[in-house]
Structure 1
């Protein structure tokens, strides 16, 4: 599903944790009315400590603070930290804790990443409250102001009030924690919409991407840490490359938190390389960011291009149709391409047997997982 396209927004690209983390903490420390946080990953450590303290300071000022965590992704948050949050006055809820119900329901996770302050400024991207984001993982976020912030509030509200979200405190009071943000002068009329997936085999983000890939005229550049695309997306990328569109994939190199996913995706390299798709593997660190550029359309948020994101998870991305932001995103891609190793078709065709075996093994496992119902 997706919100309406809205004019009059301001979107600011914040590459790397050294930029987006201070911006988020500054926004939380300046909150006057409400702070809404929705995360998949949160585990005890330095970053979680800093977040708990910032949310506690806001709650002590009388700000309504709501924290929605995934029941699986935040299992690494220690019981003591959970108590600290609740004793500080933070309303804490858990999405879909693991249970003895259907496998499909356990597989449906809240993978969204969102911070909204006072209904006026929002942040989204691929971030989480785990220490890997401080130094080890490369990530990108977007700071959002304008009318689309209200759509993010509504999206948070619908899940906070969902029967799948468990927790004490803060009843259904999200509604009204930030109404429609006005169109403000100086926002340059940036056009954007929020698009999200409901989980379990319906993913509006995938359909939107497919339409953009099919209609692109100049470029399709995709950055994703987990590249195991559906057959229909692979076909669209190949067709786009063959009709002369510059198709570039920015993917992780050997530094990866789930190497098996990388091998499963590498089994698709050969056909795409032969079709003219360019593939770059990022070298400095594990690149966890998820953003896409198709001509002047940008999509940035939580959604990966693997079966989990495309079929099972609850995801949300900010889409922007604006040449200025597209230019900034293109520059970011170019910097990251320069820090990557390009995979060439001839060299890939000569890859070792062990590499091919790993692709087959993890590809077979991935194929089995996609058939789960």
Structure 2
């Protein structure tokens, strides 16, 4: 689904959990009519308990609370936590629960992260209800207000009623979202989503922006295993003299093998003039892109897995003020990173080269699964 570009919106960048988590909880506490929550990861723990408490309290005061979780990403959510939500009146459904008689079907996952409040306010980013997002991971979210929120409501409704979505409650009737009045900030944006290899609108949008870039292309992703077409575009942009930079995780990584698989592309990128920064303080799980004054923030990792199998969704914003905020965030994170230089990388040890080959080969096999 590719939403229309719309004006009259307000987008607020919320870097780090210390900013977006309080904003999320405040929005839930202030909900009056509806709450829609869609997450990939939700695991029992301190953060999940806080989320469940807030959702149950909202349901208790008469708010319609719908929670859509991925069937795999929520496997560590305890039965007691699920039951507590249901007993409080929260309607709980799961996308594509695992089945053992059709293993290929299990590859399709709902990787979106979305909270919609009263069908007037939305949040998206890379967050989840997992304690690591508070304790050890760097994340970014965006607060969304204005006409574009209606497209996020439609996106949630489509998946809630989709054939692969299961739960004790039947799908509900969804009226057409009511139009939302334009705001004075008048920021331009659109919702954009992808559904694996069948519909790669997010990927195509990024490629189009790279092709029309005039000065800079900065990309942050936690799982850098880019497609050949994306690598080719990054290299071409760097050779044309544009400021091309990648903000990637350092040694603090939840899946080190993915990091090694992506590092096998460093050599060619560095030789072409792409600047690569590895974030040092924590594991950077954020996914955001800046091309000139266009930004994209959401769930998509721009790797093979996200582009071939996952359901993803991003908020695109075209606004100079918002672009300045995103650029400032990039600059702060570049300063907290180690830049990888070609003169250094070319002499990396053979053990590093072996890891790149092994995990790169494994990743190549995985990308051929459909």
Q: Same fold (TM over 0.5)?
A: yes
Corresponding residue for 1:287?
A: 284
Corresponding residue for 1:121?
A: 121
Distance 1:107 1:271 in 2: 31
Corresponding residue for 1:112?
A: 112
Corresponding residue for 2:181?
A: 182
Distance 2:339 2:151 in 1: 39
- Pick aligned residue for 1:338 from 335, 344, 347: 335
Task: Deviation per CA, 1:54-110: give whole Å up to 9, x if none.
Answer: 000000011000000000011010010010110010000000001135443210000
Distance 1:361 1:109 in 2: 26
Q: Which runs of 5+ in 2 are unaligned?
A: none
Shift of 1:163: 1.1
- Structure 1 segment 293-332 matched on structure 2, within 5 A: 293-332=290-329
Give the secondary-structure state (helix, strand or coil) at the position aligned to 2:67: strand
Is residue 10–residue 183 contact of structure 2 (8 Å, CA) maintained in 1?
Answer: no
Distance 1:331 1:170 in 2: 45
Which contiguous aligned blocks of 4+ residues in structure 1 show a shift greater than 4 angstroms? none
Shift of 1:215: 1.3
Q: Which runs of 5+ in 1 are unaligned?
A: none
Distance 1:103 1:230 in 2: 24
Corresponding residue for 1:45?
A: 45
Corresponding residue for 2:32?
A: 32
Distance 2:273 2:129 in 1: 38
Distance 1:342 1:301 in 2: 25
- Pick aligned residue for 1:215 from 212, 217, 235: 212
* Aligned length in residues: 370
Is residue 154–residue 175 contact of structure 1 (8 Å, CA) maintained in 2?
Answer: no
Task: Deviation per CA, 1:284-307: give whole Å up to 9, x if none.
Answer: 000000000000000000000211
Give the secondary-structure state (helix, strand or coil) at the position aligned to 2:32: coil
Is residue 4–residue 193 contact of structure 1 (8 Å, CA) maintained in 2?
Answer: yes
Corresponding residue for 1:164?
A: 164
Give the secondary-structure state (helix, strand or coil) at the position aligned to 1:274: helix
- Pick aligned residue for 2:257 from 255, 260, 270: 260
Return the TM-score normalized by structure 2: 0.98
Is residue 160–residue 171 contact of structure 2 (8 Å, CA) maintained in 1?
Answer: no
Task: Deviation per CA, 1:213-266: give whole Å up to 9, x if none.
Answer: 121110000000000000000000000000011000000000000000000000
Distance 1:273 1:195 in 2: 30
Corresponding residue for 1:10?
A: 10
Distance 1:320 1:52 in 2: 31
Corresponding residue for 1:96?
A: 96
Shift of 1:310: 1.0
Shift of 1:175: 3.4
